[in-house]
């Protein structure tokens, strides 16, 4: 991607080409994951932003990060899948128990003064339940099939039939679940006014808000890697392999 922003490109496409641009979108609370199908012009209209100013910020970020950004879209599909499991799935699994404990604790201690903490506890419990089932389905059903696609491509062998038909079917479900979890965390950010701490916040309160912010940021990258890079790669690879087999037989 060059340093000129194409106003017809979607937010997801821009972040796909250079993930550092996500920092700019986050600054303006622009959803580049589940809402990544909007163009620059559309989000500027939604957020009452100036297209020229946002484009300049994006171009500056791209220029600054040309040498440091990870080029995820060039990664081999099996390697990318492993990366998502070992980095992002691991992060979610490790941090859900911590945040469940913390959100419960601050609700009990500070809930009378800050009743929104009970909603935070509820929203996070719902998100964590959604994510835990989601990760299990990916690791037991979808990702093994993606690995089989990768191996078939490498070894020039045919792919085994899947129990779910085309890979588009589980991918559609995973995208819907991403949106559900993302919306719950978005609600937490909204009712905390971007994790603004009250004057009477204790250390646990402070740490909980920082961890929730970190958790949401990790989920943004996690969802971006799947929705915008891994899933399209899997669909493309499956269609190519099926097409090649039909030509052979």
Q: pLDDT tens for residues 22-76?
A: 778 878 888 876 777 889 889 899 889 998 899 888 888 776 654 445 678 889 9
Buried b (16+ CB within 10 A) or exposed e, 39-51: bbeebbeeeeeee
Distance in angstroms (rounded) separating the CA atoms of residues 75 and 116 = 42
Residues 6 or more apart in contact with residue 25 via CB below 8 angstroms: 11, 15, 31, 32, 43
Distance in angstroms (rounded) separating the CA atoms of residues 95 and 115 = 24
Show contacts of 12-17: CB within 8 Å, 24+ apart.
Answer: 12/36, 12/37, 12/224, 12/227, 12/228, 13/228, 14/40, 14/58, 15/224, 15/228, 16/72, 16/73, 16/224, 16/228, 16/229, 17/73
Which tens digit of pLDDT belongs to each residue from 122-134?
999 999 999 999 9
- Assess contact for 208 and 117: CB atoms under 8 A: no
- Assess contact for 86 and 75: CB atoms under 8 A: no
Query: 132's torsion region: left (phi>0), alpha (psi -120 to 50) or beta?
Result: alpha
Quote the DSSP letter at residue 4. S
Write down the pLDDT at residue 19: 67
116's tokens: 């929104």
Distance in angstroms (rounded) separating the CA atoms of residues 107 and 113 = 10
Kindly tell me if the per-residue pLDDT of 100 is higher than 70.
yes
Give the global pTM.
Answer: 0.74
Distance in angstroms (rounded) separating the CA atoms of residues 39 and 9 = 6
Which tens digit of pLDDT belongs to each residue from 198-210?
999 888 898 899 9
Kindly tell me if the per-residue pLDDT of 187 is higher than 60.
yes
- Assess contact for 134 and 117: CB atoms under 8 A: no
Write down the pLDDT at residue 68: 46
Rg of the chain in Å (alpha carbons)? 20
Cα distances (angstroms) measured from residue 71 to each of 67, 68, 80, 233? 10, 9, 11, 14
Write down the pLDDT at residue 89: 97
Tell me the pLDDT band of 172, cut-offs 50, 70 and 90: very high
Write down the pLDDT at residue 218: 93
Kindly tell me if the per-residue pLDDT of 141 is higher than 50.
yes
Kindly tell me if the per-residue pLDDT of 105 is higher than 90.
yes
Mean pLDDT value across residues 204-221: 92
Mean pLDDT value across residues 145-163: 90
CA nearest 7: which of 61, 63, 45?
A: 45
Any idea what the Cα angle at residue 163 is, between residues 157 and 166, rounded to 5°? 70
Tell me the pLDDT band of 249, cut-offs 50, 70 and 90: very low
Write down the pLDDT at residue 192: 96
Write down the pLDDT at residue 64: 64
């Amino acid at each position: 991607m060059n340093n000129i922003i194409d106003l017809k490109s979607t937010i997801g496409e821009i972040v796909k080409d250079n993930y550092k641009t996500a920092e700019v979108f986050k600054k303006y609370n622009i959803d580049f994951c589940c809402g990544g199908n909007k163009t620059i012009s559309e989000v500027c209209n939604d957020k009452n932003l100036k297209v020229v100013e946002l484009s300049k910020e994006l171009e500056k970020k791209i220029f600054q990060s040309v040498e440091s950004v990870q080029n995820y879209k060039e990664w081999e599909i099996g390697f990318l899948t492993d990366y998502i499991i070992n980095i992002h799935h691991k992060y979610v699994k490790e941090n859900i128990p911590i945040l469940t404990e913390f959100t419960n604790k601050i609700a009990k201690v500070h809930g009378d003064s800050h009743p929104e903490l009970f909603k935070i506890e509820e929203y996070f419990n719902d998100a964590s339940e959604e994510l835990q089932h989601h990760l299990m389905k990916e690791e037991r059903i979808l990702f093994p099939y993606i690995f089989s696609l990768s191996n078939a491509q490498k070894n020039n062998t045919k792919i085994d039939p899947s129990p779910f038909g085309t890979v588009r079917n589980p991918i559609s479900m995973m995208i819907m679940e991403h949106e559900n979890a993302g919306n719950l965390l978005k609600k937490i950010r909204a009712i905390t006014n971007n994790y603004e701490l009250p004057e009477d916040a204790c250390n646990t309160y402070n740490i909980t808000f920082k961890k929730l912010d970190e958790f949401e940021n990790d989920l943004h990258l996690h969802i971006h890697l799947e929705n915008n890079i891994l899933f399209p790669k899997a669909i493309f690879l499956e269609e190519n392999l099926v097409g090649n087999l039909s030509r052979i037989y």
